[in-house]
Structure 1
Amino acid sequence: MKKFYDMIETPAMLIDEKITLNNIKMMQELSNRKGVALRPHIKTHRMTYFAKLQMEAGASGIACAKIGEAEVMAKAGIEDIFIANEIVGISKYERLKMLNRKIKTLRIGVDNTFQIDQIEKVFNGEKPLEVLIEYEVGEVRSGIISDEDLLFLAKYVNSKKNVVLKGIFSHEGHTYKASSMEICKEKAEEAYRRTVRAAELIRDEGIPLEIVSVGATPSIMNGAYFEGITEFRLGTYIFFDLGQALAINDFSKCSASVLASVISKPTDSRVVIDAGAKALVSQNRTEGICATNGFGYVKDSNNVRLKGLFDEHGIIENKKFSQEISIGDKIEVIPSHICPTVNLYDKVYLINDGYIVKEIPVDCRGKSQ
């Protein structure tokens, strides 16, 4: 093993091995205590290496966002995959048909009859495709909203021979904008209550429903739960990031950082690094417990944030920090949002006590189709 600061050219993504393993263990144990299955969402790391570690720790399966991710994960030997997203297009269902033949369990998200009709057509004579209905709980994104539409879709799916309704899922992403940890938990538990109620409405129609899947890292870390949930489905907990750390007021769980070099100090307060928008995504949450107030956080600093990003340059405006650092020094930046940041890299460096353990390919990078 070699010291990473000396060996790694910047910008580069680092993953702290010890912290990551502790995060995996922590969330698995939390789920076990609640008596619910844990299905990690691999859109955060997009690496088969970490998906396998999560499965070995006790995960029931994985969640993906895209077919491309699922195909890579299946090739690596993962047999239980839920694509927590709506998929549209005959060519995509042809890919799902092939994937469904290869692995034990494949499920996707649905919220409309157009999808069901395409599945019914493509999967004729095949092993039926299992689906979960997405239920909108406040994020204002995809998902069924009204009880009438929910029951109509559930009955529509139940009338088909090539589609099997297995459950319902929701995502309480709107809780990121909660003004406090307590309100985050309250909003999440209301979202869970609504999701469980939606499942009960379907069951009351005589339609069996096995899975009630929810999840977002801040709400579950802040203790949110509701009786009737069968599965936690969340991703960021493996690495955390600036927004997620602020949501629980704890930076000790941040295991991913971008290593960058100081390349310029044009004024007595401005520090320029070689990590811009192509190395750190230009997402800046502006409100709530996940508000980042910048585009990254300098690790182990006194609250030093990146003020701005150009394509190839990151900008820090902090006179005291500028006095403490020199051109050529390397710093670690905790990203504002880790999920899209990982997708900027071909590989990450696994680090332990300041040494490089191994290089890990981001083998789902770009697999967004």
Structure 2
Amino acid sequence: MNYMEIDTPALIVDYDIMMNNIKTVQDYANSKNVNLRPHTKTHKSPHIAKLQEEAGAKGIAVAKLGEAEVMAENGLKDIFIANEVVSPNKLERIKKLIESIDISFGLDSIEAANIIEDVFKDSNNKAVVLIEIEVGENRSGIIEEDDYRDLLSHLKNNCPHIRLKGIFSHDGNSYNAESLEECKRIHLTSQERTLKFAKIAEEMDMPLETVSVGSTPSMLNDFPILDGITEIRPGTYIFMDASMKNACKNCDTAATILASVISRPTDERVILDVGAKGITMQTRTKGITAVEGMGQIKQFPGVNIFDVYDEHAIIYDKNMRDSVKVADKVEIIPVHICPVVNLHEKAYFVSKGEVIKEVPILARGKLS
């Protein structure tokens, strides 16, 4: 059927654009001689993850253990949890996964290492970890070189049940860069810092198999990848969103939310049947990813969602109000696609206006 016949609100994925986005970033990784490990928190779909692997990706990244379990249950065999895992209960779940797939996860402290060592001391398999390096986002990750050296020494001398596979970083501060030139500087500076920590490990006779970096703004403008980086982990590129359109020139927006006009109460106000529970309340107001409002209306360039309630989107635009009727449908380009996908049970793949497949979002809601 034509996708405009789908009941609303609904997550729509333009299949052809998505596949082109997959190819574009895989070609970029290939041209830089690094592995691509896409972060699947954006789409939360084993089906899409397999499309990425079929195109050449070396495994996947996830944000949470629950996502990893869903991916593993559906045939994904090489998974990195790009996050610290410290709960003994979660580590017990990893012990089960490690019996059948290649799974690794992050840590950034001796405290975490001690918890991991204690859980894995009775296991036939070692815990496989990557140390996170803070590179400017002001989130998690090792900051001081002395703390990093202490952690390396502790792993080497006190943690026989942990295997250090590598290090990873995330230059999420690239989203707030004021220009593409600043984005490039953040991209290169974060790599340099990550490689500095890789060098320290080598000097301590702990060479690393994996040196992993990445964020979508850094990976879609053909910026250089420095020698020594082995892997990149962009995620948003698969779908893109309103904020990414300004930051990245080489991919197009594949995902939208189809919504219906349910009211035109004034001569300039339009109400749609989706709100915070379908598109979130997120905004982006800084740097190259800054965008007006809480979502853009695809059919009306320049028109943005002014406000949202739980189940309503509020738009003020006289031209749109005069151009649509109650029950008409429009597409919303979300500000930030990752949390939006997590709100939907399935995606409709569309090609040339026709629905070609319904894909369940099997890892939605897997927050633990």
Fold conserved (TM > 0.5)? yes
Aligned equivalent of 2:321: 322
Maintained 8 Å contact 2:85/2:107: yes
For residues 294 and 239 of structure 1, the distance between their equivalents in structure 2, rounded to whole angstroms, comes to: 19
Aligned equivalent of 2:234: 234
Mean Cα deviation higher: 223-232 or 185-194: 223-232
Maintained 8 Å contact 1:292/1:336: yes
Maintained 8 Å contact 1:158/1:164: no
For residues 327 and 302 of structure 2, the distance between their equivalents in structure 1, rounded to whole angstroms, comes to: 21
User: How far is the alpha carbon of 1:79 from its aligned partner?
Assistant: 1.1
TM-score, normalised relative to structure 1: 0.97
Aligned equivalent of 1:180: 179
Maintained 8 Å contact 2:299/2:330: no
- Return the letter of the residue paired with 1:243: S
Maintained 8 Å contact 2:276/2:310: yes
- Return the letter of the residue paired with 1:188: H
**Runs of 5+ in structure 1 lacking a partner?**
none
Aligned equivalent of 2:38: 40
Q: Could you tell me which of 70, 73, 88 is aligned with 2:71? A: 73
Equivalent runs, 1:6-85 vs 2, <5 Å = 6=5, 8-85=6-83
**Paired residue secondary structure (1:289):** helix
- Return the letter of the residue paired with 1:214: V
Maintained 8 Å contact 2:171/2:190: yes
User: How far is the alpha carbon of 1:249 from its aligned partner?
Assistant: 5.0
User: How far is the alpha carbon of 1:228 from its aligned partner?
Assistant: 1.6
User: How far is the alpha carbon of 1:126 from its aligned partner?
Assistant: 2.0
Q: Per-residue displacement from partner, 1:188-217 (whole Å, max 9, x unpaired)?
A: 111111111111111111111111101111
For residues 296 and 153 of structure 1, the distance between their equivalents in structure 2, rounded to whole angstroms, comes to: 44
For residues 149 and 280 of structure 2, the distance between their equivalents in structure 1, rounded to whole angstroms, comes to: 40
* Identity of matched residues, %: 47
User: How far is the alpha carbon of 1:219 from its aligned partner?
Assistant: 1.2
Q: Per-residue displacement from partner, 1:17-68 (whole Å, max 9, x unpaired)?
A: 1011111111111100000000011100000110010111111110011111
Maintained 8 Å contact 1:138/1:174: yes
Q: Per-residue displacement from partner, 1:76-105 (whole Å, max 9, x unpaired)?
A: 1111110000011111111000001111x1
- Return the letter of the residue paired with 2:105: I
User: How far is the alpha carbon of 1:223 from its aligned partner?
Assistant: 2.6
Q: Find out whether 1:113 has 2:113 as its counterpart.
A: no
User: How far is the alpha carbon of 1:291 from its aligned partner?
Assistant: 0.8
Equivalent runs, 1:161-180 vs 2, <5 Å = 161-180=160-179
Aligned equivalent of 1:296: 295
For residues 299 and 37 of structure 2, the distance between their equivalents in structure 1, rounded to whole angstroms, comes to: 31
User: How far is the alpha carbon of 1:281 from its aligned partner?
Assistant: 1.0
TM-score, normalised relative to structure 2: 0.97
For residues 205 and 142 of structure 1, the distance between their equivalents in structure 2, rounded to whole angstroms, comes to: 23
User: How far is the alpha carbon of 1:226 from its aligned partner?
Assistant: 2.1
Maintained 8 Å contact 2:28/2:222: no
For residues 230 and 173 of structure 2, the distance between their equivalents in structure 1, rounded to whole angstroms, comes to: 21
Equivalent runs, 1:288-367 vs 2, <5 Å = 288-367=287-366
In structure 2, relative to structure 1, the CA distance for the partners of 1:308 and 1:249 (3 Å cut) is: farther
**Runs of 5+ in structure 2 lacking a partner?**
none
Q: Could you tell me which of 129, 132, 138 is aligned with 1:140? A: 138
- Return the letter of the residue paired with 2:113: I
Number of residue pairs matched? Answer: 365
Mean Cα deviation higher: 11-20 or 318-327: 318-327
* Pairwise CA RMSD: 1.1
User: How far is the alpha carbon of 1:301 from its aligned partner?
Assistant: 2.5
**Paired residue secondary structure (1:102):** coil
**Paired residue secondary structure (2:8):** coil
For residues 305 and 332 of structure 2, the distance between their equivalents in structure 1, rounded to whole angstroms, comes to: 9
**Paired residue secondary structure (2:305):** coil
User: How far is the alpha carbon of 1:227 from its aligned partner?
Assistant: 2.2
Give the ranges of 4+ consecutive aligned residues of structure 1 lying more than 3 Å apart after TM superposition: none
Q: Find out whether 1:155 has 2:153 as its counterpart.
A: yes
For residues 350 and 201 of structure 1, the distance between their equivalents in structure 2, rounded to whole angstroms, comes to: 46
For residues 57 and 359 of structure 2, the distance between their equivalents in structure 1, rounded to whole angstroms, comes to: 21
